A and B are shown apart, each in its own frame.
Chain A
Amino acid sequence: MDGRMVKVGLIIMIDRKFLAVTVGAIFVLGMYGPNVAEIIQSAEAHGVQAQLQSRFIQITNEAISRQSLATGETLVLSGALVSLVERDQRGWISLFSESTNSGNRWEIMARDPPGVVFEIGGNSITPYAITAKALEPGVYHVHTQLNVANVGPGLGPGTTVVVEGEAIIKPIPWGMLAYQSIIIAAAYVITFATRPWQVI
């Protein structure tokens, strides 16, 4: 038998190089095929209505003060939380909106009820308001997000909001970067002074 040929089964003989290339190609295709297919197709669901109302506490009468604003301006998202259970609950209110990246799109300036975590009385109606400053331009579907302790999240119906203008970037912590850089530089000095990679 030729050294380069591989016996597969009882009869078929395949060139070893050909076999190696084939197996390798199958591996690569299996690994990257789905990624390539993903590039070709795209599925977007912007503006899909969220249907995630909590069954414990409903978000009703959701209203927004404005639907078009520039970065740096604020909007107020308000409404009422209707508790459908007898037990008192604890929760915190936030703002939920999709975006193309993970950047800071909103800065929450004020909350009503004040503070972060607050009590929601059983079988009661609690009005809420959240003031948020827009930081990034884009088209958002903005929802109230109520997170209830030991229960989970709930979203309001949401409103489309358009934000225009230059993005506002959070201040860069130069002090922290300087602290790290100085220490890393000192470590380089010690490392090259002692050359520890030379094994004794």
Chain B
Amino acid sequence: MVWLRRCTHYLFIVVVAVNSTLLTINSGDYIFYTDWAWTSFVVFSIANTLMTIVGAVYYLTFTGVPGTATYYGLIMQVYTWVAKVAWFALGYPVDFIVHPMWIPSCMLLDLAYWATKKNKHSLIFFGGVLVGMSMPLFNMVQLMLIADPLETAFKYPRPTLPPYMTPIEPQVGKFYNSPVALGAGAGSVLACTFAALGCKLNTWTYRWMAAWSKWD
């Protein structure tokens, strides 16, 4: 089964594709519906942070090239831009959907890897904290550039929204009354664990390929 060893890079590509689409883009319903953006900001931020970082670190440690994580974020961003066209075709307004902003956080991940001379331990700690704290911040900027999300929900009644679901304020009173603060704080801690997972997946993949290719 030496073909396994020769096809390892294909496996990495498949994992990158699956993680970026099925896991990252789909975590928290993948695109911010702005009338729910404020209510669901924390859970979206944390889910997106975790899924982005595991895939980006897996890909980054595979190629060893700083710039890979940015490439990973770019793929997702462009993909969702194309997908957004489907919503316009259905008649939804432009600011009804805002994509999560992945690229700047992925750039910071590349920066951490490059600045620490490709040290994986530093990637896990510094990269994890940077991505976890920055992703809610960059997404907050997006929401500031559109009409107020909660107000939008009540001024423009969405025909497909289940009528008994009323967007509510995020319950973040203890966290400086801000979903960004909670998302950043929780994300910075949790992201380190998933960055570590990304590194381990890379190591395990090589070990499995080495082991399985010797089965025959």
A→B interface (CB under 8 Å): 92, 94-99, 101-108, 116-117, 145, 147-149, 151-153, 169-173, 175-177, 179-180, 183-184, 186-188, 190-191, 193-200
Contacts and interface: CB of A to CB of B under 8 A. Distances in A.
Contacts of B94: 170, 172-173, 177
26 contacts: A96-B157, A98-B159, A99-B159, A102-B160, A116-B166, A147-B164, A152-B164, A153-B164, A170-B93, A170-B156, A172-B95, A173-B95, A176-B142, A176-B145, A177-B94, A179-B145, A180-B77, A180-B99, A190-B70, A191-B67, A191-B70, A194-B67, A196-B59, A196-B71, A198-B63, A200-B65
A145 B103 CA distance: 41
Contact of A147 (B71, B78, B163): B163
A150 to B, nearest CB: 8
Contacts, number: 135
B93 A169 contact: yes
B67 A196 contact: yes
A179 B9 CA distance: 34
Contacts of A190: 67, 70-71, 107, 110
Interface residues of B, number: 45
B36 interface: no
Contact of B63 (A117, A184, A196): A196
Interface of B: 9, 59, 62-68, 70-71, 73-74, 77-78, 81, 90-95, 98-99, 101, 103-104, 106-107, 110, 141-142, 145-147, 154-160, 163-164, 166
Given A179-B141, A190-B110, A103 B63 contact: no
Contacts of B164: 147-149, 151-153
Contact of B146 (A95, A176, A186, A196): A176
A170 B95 contact: yes
A125 to B, nearest CB: 22
Contacts of B163: 94, 96, 145, 147, 152-153
Nearest to B80: A180
B32 to A, nearest CB: 11
Nearest to A184: B77
Contacts of A145: 157, 163
Nearest to B167: A116
Given A102-B92, A199-B63, A183 B154 contact: no
A13 to B, nearest CB: 35
A184 B147 CA distance: 22
Contact of B71 (A94, A171, A197): A197
A172 B103 CA distance: 23
Top-7 shortest CB links A-B? A194-B67, A101-B91, A103-B91, A153-B163, A196-B68, A176-B145, A187-B74
- Among A107, A145, A193, A194, which residue has the most Cβ atoms of chain B within 10 A? A194
Contacts of A92: 154, 166
Contact of B157 (A106, A175, A191, A196): A106
